[in-house]
Structure 1
Amino acid sequence: MLYKVVVLLALSVCILGKNAYANLLISPTRISFDERQRTAKVTVINTGNEYQTYRVLWSEKQAQPSGGYIQLAEATSESLSSMARLSPKQMRLAPGEKQTVKIAIRKPKGLASGEYRSHLLFQALPSENTNKTSSIKVNMIMSYSIPILLRKDMKQPEVAIEQAKLVLNESNQRPQFLLNIKREGKFSSYGKLSAYSVDSNNEQVKIAEIGNLSIYPEVDNAFVTLSLFSDKNLDNAGKVIFKYEGSQEYKDLTFAQYTLPLTSQLLNVLTVNDAK
């Protein structure tokens, strides 16, 4: 199968649980169908100051262990797109106007157990207001995709944080954590990964977090970088507790937990390297 690497241009700003991408507001940004659900809706809002046309289509992607995706040239046996119908597939929105895109699922008979996923791609076509006086015409097609999942005979994935290391970020010379998270089974995990520093009085303070972390079935080991909050630092010995906790369909579930001893020797090494 042929692959091509997708270069993702991140233009996102989180606003009250909704995400804005350039002049496009999408909500929700992830859909997981359960066994009985047949339809879902996604709201699209043109937040720009001119009319904009958006195309809605399916995109097939393969997740990578260190994050990001590889674009697939065609659907696979684990793709959802062949079971789904979209309406509408294109829309023209005035500034501030919104449109609902409906996703309808029709499962084939004898569908095998497992997780099926495709990504719903919202593609903003070139602006209608072209500057005719310019000698150079540049049309940028901005797009963003959200994962759509269907699970058959869902079972909780087995997840474990195998290793956590404390290192220095080469660009800003601040401490960060590198984690190896192992996942087993046919189904993906989804939730937030948090780090808490614990002092000698056993008081916990959240120092880092990544939300919306999915580890998909094609990834057995995920390598995740967890950076400290800008107002947090590691000044004293103790320990750091990592928790990978479920969200949405995995709400109130803790996938994995790991404790990293934070020794004075380790902190001194980081300080020496920082000084260099």
Structure 2
Amino acid sequence: MRISSLKRLGKACAGLSLAISASLMTVTPVQAAGGDLLVAPTRIVLDGQRGTEVILNNIGSETATYRISLELRRMTSDGRLEDVTAEQANEIEQAAKDMIRYAPRRVTLPPNQPQAIRLGVRPPQDLADGEYRAHLLFRAIPKARNVTEKAPTNGGFSIALTPIYGVTIPVIIRQGNLEATAGIANARVERSDNGHAFAFDLSRTGERSTYGEIRVVKQGQSEPILVARGIAVYPEVGHRKVALPVPAEIAAQLTGAVSVEYYEPANIGGGLITKTQLVLR
């Protein structure tokens, strides 16, 4: 893709907004607040032989510097991703980190200036079949502050906190012919002081992760009333809870007979992974 096309892509993505109506809500889970950094794609799957690129674009108004590192994350039963230290890493996690190559590892981006990060994998010859995963972290490096600022008049000291933004994307390597199946159970609408959420249990069996889009379709209607993209279950968990925050007007529609459907992303075919029909009360 040419750089001029990437610039147009970055500007177009920067202008996207989330639209919610009474008949349809689209939810896109976000892993981290990225500040003014746009990353595409947000998920990488490699077959162990080919490489790819990740495009970074600074959509802010000032030049920014980012450090790129390879981290390990582990999914929990509630869908969170927890950091894994070098001491905690198991053989599969360490193998993933050892075979992934990327460059450069630090970039300085002027506004609206795309930068490609080259990504590849060097699997060992005796690599066992399975799914291996690490996460690329793009972290903003804060600008140096002026240390000659006036001291507090009361003789004490002050502390200035600078937020550090980061975006994390998974890098998945699949070795062998891997299969997986999924199931949906215990769908319900949860209500709390924080509002409403559509929740369900998403299970997975097999040698690889599942990833895709959840659609909730009410009986008698052709269009879904709720769509949630980027829903994954990684191999380290057999099931996880999914809770999708919804406004009150959408929660009010989540009653009666519905179908909860789990589809692959459109760019890999959009096939149905699993679905269940139930009555919400």
Listed one character per residue, the Cα deviations across residues 103-147 of structure 1 (whole Å, up to 9, x for unaligned) are: 121110011010000000111111246475365543332212100
Q: Which residue of 2 aligns with 1:150?
A: 173
Task: Say if 1:238 and 1:187 are closer, same or farther in 2 by CA, change over 3 A.
Answer: same
Q: From the superposition, tell whether residues 197 and 112 of structure 1 become closer, same or farther in structure 2 (CA, over 3 Å).
A: same
Q: Which shows bigger deviation, 160-169 or 95-104?
A: 160-169
- 1:60-89 deviations in Å (ceiling 9; x for gaps): 010111122110011432232210111101
Q: What's the counterpart of residue 106 of structure 1? A: 122
The separation in 1 between residues aligned to 2:44 and 2:146, in whole angstroms, is 35
Tell me which of the two structures has the higher relative contact order, counting C-alpha pairs closer than 8 angstroms and 6 or more residues apart: 2
Q: Which one-letter code corresponds to 1:77 in the other structure?
A: E
Distance (whole Å) between structure 1 residues aligned to residue 147 and residue 110 of structure 2: 19
User: Partners of 1:224 and 1:35 in 2: how far apart?
Assistant: 30
Residues 138 and 195 of structure 1: CA distance in aligned 2, closer, same or farther (over 3 Å)? same
Residue segments in structure 1 that go unaligned for 5+ positions in a row: 1-12, 267-276
**1:226 aligned residue:** 244
Which residue matches 1:27? 40
**Runs (4+) off by over 6 Å:** none
Aligned-residue offset at 1:229 = 5.9
Q: Is 2:187–2:198's contact at 8 Å kept on the other side of the alignment?
A: yes
CA distance in 2, matches of 1:195, 1:92: 42
Matches within 5 A, 1:231-270: 231-234=249-252, 238-247=256-265, 250-262=268-280, 266=281
1-structure distance, mates of 2:259, 2:273: 14
The corresponding residue for 1:3 is none
How much does 1:250 deviate? 4.8
Give me the whole-angstrom Cα distance separating, in 2, the residues matched to 1:169 and 1:233.
12
Q: Which has the higher strand share?
A: 1
Aligned residues: 245
Q: Give 3-state SS (helix, strand or coil) of 1:196's partner.
A: strand
Change (3 A) 1:239 1:106: same
Farther-moved stretch of structure 1 (218-227 vs 180-189): 218-227
For residue 60 of structure 1, what is the amino acid of its counterpart? L
Which one-letter code corresponds to 1:32 in the other structure? V
- 1:44 aligns with 56
Q: 2: distance between equivalents of 1:46 and 1:223?
A: 34
C-alpha offsets along residues 197-226 of structure 1, whole Å, 9 cap, x if unaligned?
A: 11xxx3344122210111000111111113
Specify which of 176, 184, 190 is matched with residue 167 of structure 1. Answer: 190
CA, structure 1 residues 22+93, in 2 after alignment: closer, same or farther (shift >3 Å)?
same
Which of 27, 51, 66 is the matching residue for 2:78?
Answer: 66
- Runs of 5+ unmatched residues, structure 2: 1-13, 18-27, 152-158
Partner amino acid for 2:228? I
Percent identical pairs in the alignment equals 26
State the Cα distance separating 1:158 from its structure 2 match.
Answer: 1.4
Q: Point out the more displaced range, 115-124 or 207-216.
A: 207-216
Aligned mates of 2:83, 2:111 — CA distance in 1: 31
Aligned-residue offset at 1:255: 1.4
Q: Give 1:233 deviation, angstroms.
A: 4.7
Partner of 1:195: 216
1:40 maps to amino acid: T
Paired residue type of 1:81? K
Distance 2:144 2:115 in 1: 19
Residue matched to 2:8:
none
Scaled by the length of structure 1, the TM-score of the pair is: 0.79
Q: How far off is 1:191 after superposition?
A: 0.2
Q: What is the RMSD of the two structures over their aligned residues, measured on CA atoms?
A: 2.7
Contact 1:190 1:214 in 2 (8 A): yes
